[in-house]
Amino acid sequence: MKRFPEAEQGNRAHWDELAQAHSSSYDYDRLLSGGHLIDEIQLREMGDVAGRSLLHLQCHIGTDTLSWARLGARVTGADISPVSLRVARGLAEKCGLDTRFVESSVYDLPSKLSETFDIVYTSVGVLCWLSDLNEWAGIIRRFLKPGGLFYMMEVHPFLCVFDDEAEGLQTRYDYFHHDEPIKWPGDYPDYAGDGYMVRSPSWEWQWSMGDIMNALMGSDLRVEFLHEHNWIPWKALPSMVECGEGKWKLPKGMDILPLMFSVRAIREGN
Ligand SMILES: C[S@@+](CC[C@H](N)C(=O)[O-])C[C@H]1O[C@@H](n2cnc3c(N)ncnc32)[C@H](O)[C@@H]1O
């Protein structure tokens, strides 16, 4: 597998910066007051997690990891950003939840964790940081017990073709993957709100729906479903309107396009 050290190290610094900013902008209060942050679709599609071991890839500041712990899972979160994990551990302590966090690139995780899990989970804003999805899918398989469950909720790749600085829907970016990442300069407002301006650059890859599904199926993961959704949990395009409970949609007449997708797959064989 080809690695991109400048992109990987740059993205680590980028997420260290954002983790600091997110330590005041994410919805912690619900976790601190005994609730969780998992939406009703993920709850239904994941099923009961109580008593099951769960590995959360690219867990960021651990808000979803802790949410699954609160729902009864035995959780391990992994992320490349040490500041994200520092925030996650602090939050786990405040919530009194038993968790484990491992600092690692997805690609180095097999050399840092030896066990297997009932569930591998990842969500929202994860694939664009990965340079090789076939390797990623193989790592998911590596960490699943036979019969274990992989679940992902993610931004639909189709949304990524639109210009996020233009009103309405104007295509601007390529839908298809390229080996070299796109480098984004800093100096734009953070997606989590609060007016924070991101300073550090980042490096991202676009993956098509075909790339994602073929990577999973090519690693002997039996896909149970691919669901497409017409909402997203932040205002990703200027014309989007809030439609309740932290969800945003395209305005009436344009709300016929997929903005998110979810996949559930099972590890076959031994
Ligand atoms: C958008 S966040 C994760 C989303 C999560 N749903 C959230 O909002 O809390 C993306 C995460 O991917 C992590 N990341 C980026 N590249 C990575 C890599 N190569 N290996 C592991 N984690 C990586 C970042 O550090 C960041 O915490």
Q: Is 168 helix (H, G, I), strand (E, B) or coil?
A: coil
15 CA to centre of ligand 1 in angstroms: 7
Phi/psi-derived region of residue 170, left when phi > 0, alpha when psi is between -120 and 50, beta in every other case? beta
Residue with tokens 């959360």: 56
Class of domain 5-267 (CATH, top level): alpha beta
**Eight-class DSSP state of 232:** B
20 CA to centre of ligand 1 in angstroms: 14
pTM to 2 decimals?
Answer: 0.96
Q: Choose the residue to mutate in 6, 56, 60 for probing ligand 1, maximizing ligand atoms within 8 Å of C-beta.
A: 60
Query: How far, rounded to the nearest angstrom, does the alpha carbon of residue 263 sit from its chain's CA centroid?
Result: 13
CA torsion angle 113 83 100 36 (round to 10)? -130
Q: Is 77 helix (H, G, I), strand (E, B) or coil?
A: strand
Which amino acid makes up residue 172? R
Question: Across the strands, what pairs with 202?
Answer: 184
Other Cβ atoms within 10 Å of 230 Cβ, number: 16
> Using CA atoms, how far apart are residues 241 and 235, in angstroms rounded to an integer?
7
For residue 42 the two structure tokens come to 């993920």
- Pairing relation of β-strands 202-204 and 182-184? antiparallel
201 CA to centre of ligand 1 in angstroms: 15
Which amino acid makes up residue 223? V
The domain spans of the chain are: 5-267
Q: Check residue 212 and give its pLDDT.
A: 98
pLDDT at 85 over 70: yes
Q: Is 101 helix (H, G, I), strand (E, B) or coil?
A: strand
133 CA to centre of ligand 1 in angstroms: 15
For residue 215 the two structure tokens come to 């990577």
Residue range 19-56, pLDDT digits in tens:
988 877 677 889 999 999 999 999 999 999 999 999 99
Average pLDDT for 102-113: 98
Residue range 108-167, pLDDT digits in tens:
999 999 999 999 999 999 999 999 999 999 999 999 999 999 999 999 999 999 999 898
Phi, psi of 124 (to 5 degrees): 50, 95
pLDDT at 15 over 90: yes
Residue 17 binned pLDDT confidence (cut-offs 50, 70, 90) = very high
pLDDT at 181 over 90: yes
Q: Check residue 193 and give its pLDDT.
A: 66
12 CA to centre of ligand 1 in angstroms: 9
Q: Check residue 54 and give its pLDDT.
A: 98
Residue that wins the pLDDT comparison between 196 and 159: 159
**238, 250 in Cβ contact below 8 A?**
no
Average pLDDT for 224-250: 93
Closest C-alpha to 229, from 249, 201, 215: 249
Q: Check residue 20 and give its pLDDT.
A: 85
Rg (CA), the chain: 18
Residue ranges lining ligand 1, Cβ < 6 Å: 8, 11, 15, 58, 60-61, 63-64, 79-81, 84, 105-106, 123-126, 129
> Using CA atoms, how far apart are residues 45 and 227, in angstroms rounded to an integer?
10
pLDDT at 191 over 90: no
**31, 61 in Cβ contact below 8 A?**
no
Q: Check residue 197 and give its pLDDT.
A: 87
Average pLDDT for 207-213: 98
As a whole number of Å, the end-to-end CA separation of the chain is 25
Q: Check residue 263 and give its pLDDT.
A: 98
**Of the given ranges (5-14, 144-153, 184-193), which has the lowest mean pLDDT?**
184-193
